[in-house]
Amino acid sequence: MKLTCKEAARLISEGLDRNLNVAERTRLQLHVAVCKACDRVTRQFEFLRRAAREYPGPGEEREK
């Protein structure tokens, strides 16, 4: 069954919080490979995740 962009976005988000099963991961990879919009969404989620991890938090100094 073909994945919609809405379903792909949900799996992209869920994939950041849990391990997707093989079927979910495969369907998502196939969809992202042919959908430029969902590829961008994937990269945006990854960027936000990295930025949140690196954010020092209030009252803490950022390493330079």
Q: Quick one: pLDDT at residue 55?
A: 84
Residue type at 31 in one-letter notation: H
What pLDDT is attached to residue 64? 58
CA distance linking residue 18 with residue 16, whole number of Å:
6
Instruction: List the domain boundaries for the chain.
Output: 5-54
Burial (CB count within 10 angstroms: exposed 0-12, middle 13-18, buried 19+), residue 7:
middle
Mean pLDDT by groups of 10 residues along the chain of 64 residues: 92 93 96 96 92 81 62
Give the closest residue to 30 by CA, choosing from 57, 4, 54, 53: 4
Q: What are the backbone dihedrals phi and psi of residue 52, each rounded to the nearest 5 degrees, phi first?
A: -65, -40
Q: Which amino acid is at 45?
A: F
pLDDT of residue 42: 94
